[in-house]
Structure 1
Amino acid sequence: MQERQYLNATAVEQKEVSGVLRNTYGLLAITLAFSGIVAYVSQQLRLPYPGFLVVLIGFYGLFFLTIKLRNSGWGLLSTFALTGFMGYTLGPILNIYLGMANGASVISSAFFMTALVFFGLSAYVLTTRKDMSFLSGFITAGFFVLLGAVLVSMFFQISGLQLAISAAFVLFSSAMILFQTSAIIHGGERNYIMATISLYVSIYNLFLSLLQIFGIMGSDD
């Protein structure tokens, strides 16, 4: 009797995990496409970059709004508002790189490398089903280290610091992808909206970091 109950509970849990994964990757695909369209429009219209403070307030405002609304239909609306806003901020950045001699190559390289890293890491966790919860300490420490490094870079011009920060963001974003994917399949995350925005932000940061790395490397040639 207990064995049957255990098997039933396991089946229900697996069904729930499959549902969260399906909803997460479905919503992630749609929001990435939506963000890409907004970025393209922003780039084509040559809209100005809103500024660091506006981006910071806009991102965290929409991010925490999405967290608050995550259990309602309004959470989907705020998710698209967040990803659309981040897409808008990406447009002016792309124009900066397109102004470089090899800008198109830099952007395409960053895009394909981002896709490769994301799909590779996701496939690794989904196939091995390894528990990546041990990365939580690294992620917490990494957040504060990166925050301190970014603040230092704003006030001091240190040679190589920007490249080091971008490389660190690549590692941090990769760890976040592993951690969040693992959290879904091991029961640590049951809200697909939260899983989606976590993965979206990781992909966004990964792309920007690779873009900066390839841009710096290309400008040195």
Structure 2
Amino acid sequence: MNDRFNTLRAAPSVSTVTDSSARRVLRNTYMLLSLCLAFSAVTAGAAATLALPHPGLIITLVGYFGLLFLVTKYRDSGAGVALVFALTGFMGYTLGPIISHYLKMPNGSQIVMTALGGTAAIFMGLSAYALTTKRDLSFLGGFLTVGVLLAFLTGLAAIFLQIPALSLTVSAVFVLLMSGLILFETNNIVRGGETNYVMATVSLFVSIFNLFTSLLQLLGFVGSND
């Protein structure tokens, strides 16, 4: 199963919206996020082309949480940026075999492209709302933290107990949770609650990654039953 857990930082209530400091963090976040998405796509494409095997659940979780710990530790230094690329590249590698699996389906290319287009549309739409709304969305933090933790544990249970229906339910829930995370983190940056663009990039990247893989699983299930 894909790594589906991301740490949330509580957003303080801030009265001002988008000052110069927040704009700088937002600009740096989007720039680094774009580079990381491109790098992750390259590693995913290479893994798929070379038919590399998926590292498995344990290695995936250890690699993800280990790299996340290092990114958090060095978030205020240049090493933090390098570690972000290591983390997103690793996640891209885990994605390659998954994409290969869906591409082997009769309508696999359509499934992958639809999931990709849906992810892009959701991200852009929610980001636009978070950037323009005057509402403080920090109240979502606690709910999303609990929701992601419960969904993550439920997803693990679905794997070990081999319950496909539960796994699909978790994927549907993750689409909602990751959409909420995109709103939360973007609004958090805009309102000055998140001041570290390295951590903001990781949060948004993981949200996009999990949103894409969740849509992929849901669309793959629908496609396999056509």
Q: 1:1-221, aligned counterparts within 5 Å?
A: 14-158=19-163, 160-221=165-226
Tell me, in whole angstroms, the C-alpha distance in 1 between the residues paired with 2:54 and 2:164.
25
Q: How far off is 1:187 after superposition?
A: 1.4
For 2:75 and 2:146, the matched residues in 1 are separated by 26
- 2: CA distance, partners of 1:162 / 1:147: 10
Structure 1 gap ranges (5+): 1-9
More off after superposition, 153-162 vs 47-56: 153-162
CA distance in 2, matches of 1:25, 1:85: 20
* Higher-helix-fraction structure: 1
Q: Does the Cα contact within 8 Å between 2:115 and 2:219 map onto a contact in 1?
A: yes
Higher relative contact order (CA 8 A, sep 6+): 2
Is the alpha carbon distance of 1:191 and 1:114 closer, same or farther for their aligned partners in structure 2, counting shifts above 3 Å?
same
Q: Which has the larger radius of gyration?
A: 1
Query: Offset at 1:147?
Result: 2.5
Judging changes above 3 Å, is the alpha-carbon distance between structure 1 residues 182 and 72 closer, same or farther for their aligned structure 2 residues? same
Q: CA RMSD in A?
A: 1.4
Residue 5 of structure 2 corresponds to none
Q: Quick one: distance in 1 between partners of 2:79 and 2:135?
A: 33
Question: 2 CA distance for matches of 1:180 and 1:209?
Answer: 19
% identity of equivalent residues: 52
1:133 aligns to what SS in structure 2?
A: coil
Residues in 1 aligned to 2:122 and 2:195: alpha-carbon distance in whole angstroms = 24
CA distance in 2, matches of 1:111, 1:92: 16
Q: TM-score, normalised by structure 2?
A: 0.90
Gap runs ≥5 in structure 2: 1-15
Cα shift readout 1:65-84 (whole Å, capped 9, x = no counterpart): 00000000000100000000
Shift of 1:111: 0.0
Name whichever of 125-134 and 32-41 sits farther off. 125-134
Residue identity opposite 2:100 in structure 1: N
What secondary structure is seen at the aligned counterpart in 2 of 1:160? helix
Instruction: Read off the aligned partner of 1:161 and give its amino acid letter.
Output: L
Q: TM-score, normalised by structure 1?
A: 0.92
Q: Secondary structure at the match of 1:146?
A: helix
Counterpart contact for 2:172–2:218, Cα < 8 Å: yes
8 Å Cα contact 1:129/1:182 also seen in 2: no
Q: Count residues in correspondence.
A: 211
Counterpart CA distance in 1 for 2:39 and 2:178 is 21
Contact 2:122 2:179 in 1 (8 A): yes
